[in-house]
């Protein structure tokens, strides 16, 4: 167990998460996805949840390296799939917004 701590295994740090904000206007998640191509990212909204996944694979003659992540966030009360938007910047910053309808603010 001590060896795992020294090797920094099972670290709690969330490498992709830049910012998470939830307030009376809704939810906003900002992720650093610059290590992934747009085609390697997937975002689904269903059953009251936002699911973001990324998977990148590199291989050569001797090894295969796979990098992946998955994040699942619950939508705020009153927010539906149609209230969710996302934007991926050229430098790989993914912003997902789930705005509450004006009547619920």
- Note down pLDDT in tens along the chain; length 105 residues: 555 445 554 444 566 778 899 998 999 999 999 999 999 999 999 999 999 999 999 999 999 999 999 999 999 988 999 999 999 999 999 999 999 887 554
CB distance 56 to 68 below 8 Å: yes
Rg of the chain over Cα atoms, rounded to whole angstroms, equals 17
Give the pLDDT score at 4.
46
The pair phi, psi for residue 55, each rounded to 5°, is: -145, 125
CB distance 89 to 31 below 8 Å: no
Spatial separation of the C-alpha atoms in residues 75 and 41, rounded to whole Å: 20
Give the pLDDT score at 55.
96
Spatial separation of the C-alpha atoms in residues 54 and 63, rounded to whole Å: 20
Q: Give this prediction's pTM.
A: 0.78
Pairing type for strands 64-74 and 84-88 reads: unpaired
């Amino acid at each position: 167990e001590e060896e795992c701590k020294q090797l920094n295994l099972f670290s709690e740090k969330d490498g992709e998460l830049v910012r998470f904000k939830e307030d009376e206007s809704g939810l906003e998640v900002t992720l650093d996805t610059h290590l992934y191509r747009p085609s390697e990212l997937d975002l689904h909204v269903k059953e009251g949840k936002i699911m973001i996944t990324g998977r990148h694979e590199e291989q050569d003659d001797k090894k295969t390296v796979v990098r992946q992540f998955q994040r699942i966030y619950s939508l705020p009360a009153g927010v539906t799939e149609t209230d969710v938007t996302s934007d991926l910047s050229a430098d790989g910053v993914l912003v997902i917004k789930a705005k509450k309808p004006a009547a619920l603010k």
